[in-house]
Amino acid sequence: MQNPKMFIGGEWVDALSGKTFTTLNPSTGEEIGRVPLADAADVDRAVKAARAAFPAWSRKTQAERSKALVRVAALIREHAEELALMEGMEHGTPYRDAFGVAMGAADKFEYCAGTAPTLMGQHIPVKDGTLSYLQREPAGVVGFIIPWNLPTIMTAVKLAPALAVGNTCVLKPPSINSMIGLKFAEIFAQSALPPGAVNIITGPGGSAGTALVTHPGVDMIGFTGSSESGKRILADAAGTCKKCVMELGGNNPVIIMEDADLDASLKVLGWRQFNNSGQHCSGPGRYYVHEKVYDAFIEKYVAYAGAVAVGNPADRSVTMGPLVSREHQAKVEGYIRKGVEEGARLVFGADKPAALAGGFFVMPTILADCTHDMTVAREEIFGPVAVLLKYTDRDDIVALANDSPFGLCAHVWTGDIARGMKLVNDLHVGSVFINCQMLTNEQPWGTSIKESGIGKEGSLHGMAEFTDLKLVCINYDV
């Protein structure tokens, strides 16, 4: 897929400026191809295309829209192999994970197609002779800015619910892995969606992203990314009072109690820590491990990390690929150095093999004996780095867990479920996982707690975010 074009109004177009930028293979650092460099003028024509498509798409019956989304789901499954290879090449996702993610994207469209018909209005009894009810209507034109850490699944997470309830969309994929977004455009071009229902533009957040957020023809913004970027978007969106749904940063606490099943915990936490090279907003951030099991937990974690197969994602035996960019690689490596400088003990982590030197790899890393005030315990590393802290019965573990600017989720591992349940109300986060981690299409994700976001994604709750609730009152006793 060399030098693709953008998808606007059902047509393949170059940037009006004629400019392009490169996208790289994070496993090798080599150029894959060039994509159009959109600016404000390109955003404007994409928004106009979405605005022109909105009346017809929003007025279709729910059954018609759902049928179109089922067709998209089928096309994604047909192209799952291509999407997986592209995700491996441009993002560094190992093939087995990438193929599963592509199939998961199809599931998102299918789920929204089946669920949207249940998002109905509500009758409100008032008094005789009157009718009062609420009806949901699409928000309008939705601008999406997709994160670079999970480009395939997040494209589906954003577009599927918005389209299902009648919105039209302008989507800006991450500039780092823009070709994945344009591969989706090929799928939409074959679907039953009308021209302009989905428009995909490529370019950096500082130009194309800002133009999308500030455009007066955009009614709503959906964004996933860092809290810092989210704050800038909120400030830009304030000029036109746009509704924003945002899933932002997290530094998620993990509480390992003295009676936890350590082997079971690491099957979940270790996988989540190193899967996608730790580039998960829902992944473990800082581990508070009870002193009675602290040494045993470290020993088992070292063994787990040592079994992670790091390498080129094209190799089917690999379980962890590179980080997404050289810039992010340098950032994560900086956190590791900072942790050691501040007194953390590097119990696992090594220089990458010479064969991986050209790529953006960081090997699985474990920092032990960290303290709550260390940089690695306070900030979101977003990489394959486990940060371990020892706690005792004298510590207020809830206060430590809540002492963060983030509030995305928390993990609790204990053999006493009742004891774990007592923490649910005290942990100031959007999701609590006790002895597990699960995220399904039926479950809402996200939070409006602290700096971790605004609103929900997924499930019926997330779909409702893309609607406006209209009150209708009628006096028929006249």
In DSSP notation, 360-383 reads -----EEEES--TTSHHHHS---S
Domain co-membership, 23 together with 62? yes
Helix (H) or strand (E) holding 109: helix 95-115
Which residues of the chain fall below pLDDT 50?
A: none
| Contact by Cβ (8 Å): 122, 99 | no
In a domain, 447, yes or no: no
- Taking the C-alpha atoms of residue 374 and residue 383, their distance in angstroms, rounded to an integer, is 17
CA distances from residue 262 to 259, 272, 293, 413 in whole angstroms, order as listed: 9, 15, 8, 8
pLDDT, position 3:
66
In a domain, 459, yes or no: yes
Would residue 244 show up in a list of annotated catalytic residues for this protein?
Answer: no
* 342 contact partners, CB below 8 Å, separation of at least 6: 374, 375, 376
Domain co-membership, 345 together with 293? yes
Q: What crossing angle do the helices spanning 95-115 and 80-90 adopt, rounded to 10°?
A: 130
- 106 φ, ψ to 5°? -60, -40
Provide the CATH number for the domain around residue 415. Answer: 3.40.309.10
Domain co-membership, 52 together with 193? yes
pLDDT, position 4:
87
Would residue 457 show up in a list of annotated catalytic residues for this protein?
Answer: yes
Type of residue numbered 360: F
Domain co-membership, 368 together with 460? no
Provide the CATH number for the domain around residue 183. Answer: 3.40.605.10
Helix (H) or strand (E) holding 389: strand 385-391
Domain co-membership, 153 together with 299? no
Domain co-membership, 434 together with 301? yes
**Residue whose token pair is 């909120």:** 234
DSSP 232: H
- Taking the C-alpha atoms of residue 262 and residue 29, their distance in angstroms, rounded to an integer, is 38
- List 182's β-bridge partners, or say none: none
| Strands 220-224 and 243-247, sheet pairing | parallel
Q: Which of 112, 169, 244, 281 is catalytic?
A: 281
Domain co-membership, 245 together with 263? no
* The two three-digit tokens of residue 398, written as one number: 């809830």
Q: Which of 48, 158, 172, 456 is catalytic?
A: 158
Type of residue numbered 34: R
| Contact by Cβ (8 Å): 348, 310 | no
Domain co-membership, 25 together with 104? yes
pLDDT, position 350:
80
In a domain, 349, yes or no: yes
- Taking the C-alpha atoms of residue 162 and residue 464, their distance in angstroms, rounded to an integer, is 9
| Strands 453-454 and 243-247, sheet pairing | antiparallel
**Residue whose token pair is 């709550």:** 372
* The two three-digit tokens of residue 136, written as one number: 């949901």
pLDDT, position 206:
87
| Contact by Cβ (8 Å): 182, 174 | no
| CB-based burial, 262-294: b 16+ in 10 Å, e otherwise | beebbebbbebbbbbbbbbbbbbbbbbbbeebb
Q: Which of 87, 90, 110, 247 is catalytic?
A: 247
* 19 contact partners, CB below 8 Å, separation of at least 6: 36, 37
Strand runs labelled E in 197-304 = 198-200, 220-224, 243-247, 252-256, 284-290
- Count CB atoms within 10 A of the CB of residue 408: 27
- The contacts found for 269-273 with CB under 8 angstroms, 24 or more apart, are 269/411, 269/413, 269/437, 270/301, 270/304, 270/305, 272/437, 273/364, 273/384, 273/386
**Residue whose token pair is 């749904």:** 245
Domain co-membership, 28 together with 104? yes
* The two three-digit tokens of residue 320, written as one number: 């962890």
CA distances from residue 7 to 4, 131, 182, 227, 428 in whole angstroms, order as listed: 10, 45, 8, 29, 42
In a domain, 57, yes or no: yes
pLDDT tens column, 139-181: 999 999 999 999 999 999 999 999 999 999 999 999 999 999 9
Q: Find, among 59, 66, 55, 51, the residue nearest to 160 by Cα.
A: 66
In a domain, 478, yes or no: no
In a domain, 337, yes or no: yes
* 441 contact partners, CB below 8 Å, separation of at least 6: 107, 108, 111, 458, 459
In a domain, 446, yes or no: no
- 166 φ, ψ to 5°? 105, 5
Domain co-membership, 94 together with 206? yes
* 465 contact partners, CB below 8 Å, separation of at least 6: 161, 245, 455, 456, 457
Domain ranges, residue 236: 6-249+452-472
- Taking the C-alpha atoms of residue 22 and residue 32, their distance in angstroms, rounded to an integer, is 7
In a domain, 30, yes or no: yes
Domain co-membership, 157 together with 60? yes
Q: Which of 90, 110, 380, 457 is catalytic?
A: 457
Would residue 338 show up in a list of annotated catalytic residues for this protein?
Answer: no
CA distances from residue 30 to 89, 292, 355, 400, 409 in whole angstroms, order as listed: 10, 48, 14, 43, 36
CA distances from residue 332 to 146, 325, 393, 452 in whole angstroms, order as listed: 21, 11, 32, 20
Domain co-membership, 238 together with 107? yes
* Number of structural domains the chain divides into: 2
Would residue 456 show up in a list of annotated catalytic residues for this protein?
Answer: no
pLDDT, position 2:
58
